[in-house]
Amino acid sequence: MKRLVRPSMEWKKEHQDYVAEWGSSRMVPSSYNLDGHASYQDYLKALAIREEGNNPWLPSSNYFLVNEENRILAMVDIRHELNEFLLNVGGHIGYSVRPSERRKGYASLILAEALKKCGELNIERVLATCDEDNIGSAKTILNNGGVEDKSFTEEDGNVKRRFWIENK
């Protein structure tokens, strides 16, 4: 069964393989970036501090979506609260799917699973955002009941589409 698991030493190699497959573009969500950590243990320590909430990071929860063969298919980062940046740009939930596993429904699945976690955290209205040109992400959010709100234009001109999901 596909399931969410918390990052831990057990997932070191899988996480590194995912990052290698990702290539040189900026890691999404950024909390899964392994750059600048001397070891995986150091990364996990830094992640734990970040998850607790460590200015500018608000408390958050990280999960991998893994399959029956213990392969990481996707990653999600759930922010428990919104600040101005998250309200306009980042939203409650950030996710990515492993490049070789795209177009198989896993983004829709990890967002659905993340919404259950949001329920456990009593987040009743979940904000999910995506870049204007990210059709796959917009469809993922719409597949999970997203209702579109006003877009936000960042300083560099990038337009974020913003969707609310009622999570009751």
Contacts with ligand COA, residue ranges (CB under 6 A):
28, 95-97, 102-108, 130, 134-137, 139-140, 143
- Core vs surface per residue 28-41: b (16+ CB within 10 A) or e: bbebbebeeeeebe
CB-closest chain residue to ligand COA: 136
CB of 77 to ligand COA, least distance (A): 10
For residues 11 and 95, which CB has a smaller minimum distance to ligand COA in the complex?
Answer: 95
CB of 119 to ligand COA, least distance (A): 20
Q: Are 161 and 129 in contact (CB under 8 A)?
A: yes
For residues 23 and 56, which CB has a smaller minimum distance to ligand COA in the complex?
Answer: 23
The closest of 92, 109, 93, 89 to 162, measured between CA atoms, is 89
Helix (H) or strand (E) holding 111: helix 106-120
CB of 91 to ligand COA, least distance (A): 8
